[in-house]
Amino acid sequence: MTTHPDTYPSAVNHQLNQSGVSWPAIFAGAAVAAALSLILMLLGMGLGFSAVSPWADTGVSAKGLGIWAIVWLALTQIIASGMGGYLAGRLRIKWSTVHTDEVYFRDTAHGFLSWAIATLVTAVLVVGSLGSLVGGGVQATANVASGVVSAAGSVGAGSASNADPYGYFVDTLFRDNRPVAVNDDAARSVVTRIFVRTLDNDGQLIPADRAYLAQLVSQRTNLTPAQAEQRVDQVYMQARQAATDAKVAAQEAADTAAKVAAWTSLWMFVALLIGAFFASLAATFGGRRRDEVIHLNADHLSHTPVAPVRA
């Protein structure tokens, strides 16, 4: 069959005007990569939860669990992104009139695009739900920490002070030197409000509050005024130290959480870079395998001898 010389340039121009991106192959690789990422992440979560135990000296430690989580995330990126990139390179069309360097660049771009789309899909489907779980855990931890500080500052009854912020000032209206004819619960509420008010301010008991607390203690314990004042100072210092320790513990927990979040973000960044590299590399390998495929036409098949079948 003879080709007219005017038809060849038009065919070349038509090929040059075509896009160098095979979107069907890219989306196919991205779908496979996203599905594999989801499956492997669920498998990793299951293995991680099975390795954690609430009992002391049982199961993997928090540090070991973090290391294995990072390793598993890297393996997930390598396997899923590599498979998606390979399919993106293997399923693309053949560029028969394109230079080898350009083919290599296009295959690399196909693998990178497949990884990018799969990462976005996985982030929408998985990271959103995980973010809500992590956010709920952080919020719960913050509530617990703030509750510990409030409880330490109020000696176990901070909620009453929060419910009645002016209770301390109301109590001062009815103070006198006579014995207070109230039950023990009411007396404890008064003492609690004084402790909360003092710990929330400068932490030093004013002389009027100290004298009133000593009076309450002396009336209910048969201690002398001097002994009651000594007990007030001793107990208040213990409460103040407990509040200080709780605040320090909360600050240390917040600092640890910030460091864990920072290291997690950095290692996730490294894992994603590894996934992008392996997706691009696997796409070049898949594209090379695609170009090695020999297409057989009908004429070739009709002239291919058929091996005889032995009885």
pLDDT digits (tens, 9 = 90+) for 234-272: 888 888 888 889 889 999 988 888 888 888 889 889 999
**What was the pLDDT predicted at 28?**
93
Give the pLDDT mean for 63-84.
89
Three-class secondary structure of residue 89 per DSSP: helix
CB-neighbour burial class of residue 158 (10 A; exposed 0-12, middle 13-18, buried 19+): buried
pLDDT of residue 279: 94
- pLDDT classification of 202: cutoffs 50, 70, 90: confident
Cut 0.85: pTM above it: no
Instruction: Tell the residue number behind the tokens 């864990």, with chain if given.
Output: 260
* Res 116: pLDDT: 94
> What does the pLDDT read at residue 42?
86
Point out the least confidently predicted range of 16-25, 64-73, 216-225, 278-287.
16-25
Lowest average pLDDT, out of 48-62, 166-180, 239-253, goes to: 166-180
What pLDDT, in 10s, does the model give residues 113-167?
999 999 998 888 766 655 555 555 555 445 544 544 444 444 444 444 455 666 6
**pLDDT score at 32:** 94
Q: In the chain, pLDDT over 70 holds for what percent of residues?
A: 67
**What average pLDDT does the segment 47-69 reach?**
75
Q: What pLDDT does residue 108 have?
A: 93
CA dist 218 to 62, 186, 229, 274, Å? 50, 16, 9, 72
pLDDT of residue 282: 93
Radius of gyration of the chain (CA): 37
Kindly report the backbone phi and psi dihedral angles of residue 119, in degrees, each rounded to the nearest multiple of 5, phi listed first: -65, -40
Identity of the highest mean pLDDT range in 46-55, 191-200, 247-256: 247-256
Paired tokens of 173: 């209206």
pLDDT at 310: 52
Check residue 45 and give its pLDDT.
85
Q: What is the model's pLDDT at position 160?
A: 45
Average pLDDT over residues 222-243: 86
Nearest to 68 by CA among 254, 272, 267: 267
- The lowest-confidence range among 130-134, 145-149, 226-230, 288-292 is 145-149
pLDDT for position 11: 44
On the question of pLDDT at 78 being above 90, the answer is: yes
- Contacts for 204 with CB less than 8 Å, ≥ 6 apart: 198
pLDDT > 70? residue 59? no
Mean pLDDT across 205-234: 84
Percent of the chain beyond pLDDT 90?
A: 22
Q: pLDDT higher for 224 or 309? A: 224
Residue where the block lists tokens 């030197």? 177
Q: What is the pLDDT of residue 295?
A: 63
Average pLDDT, the chain: 76
Whether residue 86 is predicted with pLDDT greater than 90 in this model: the reply is yes
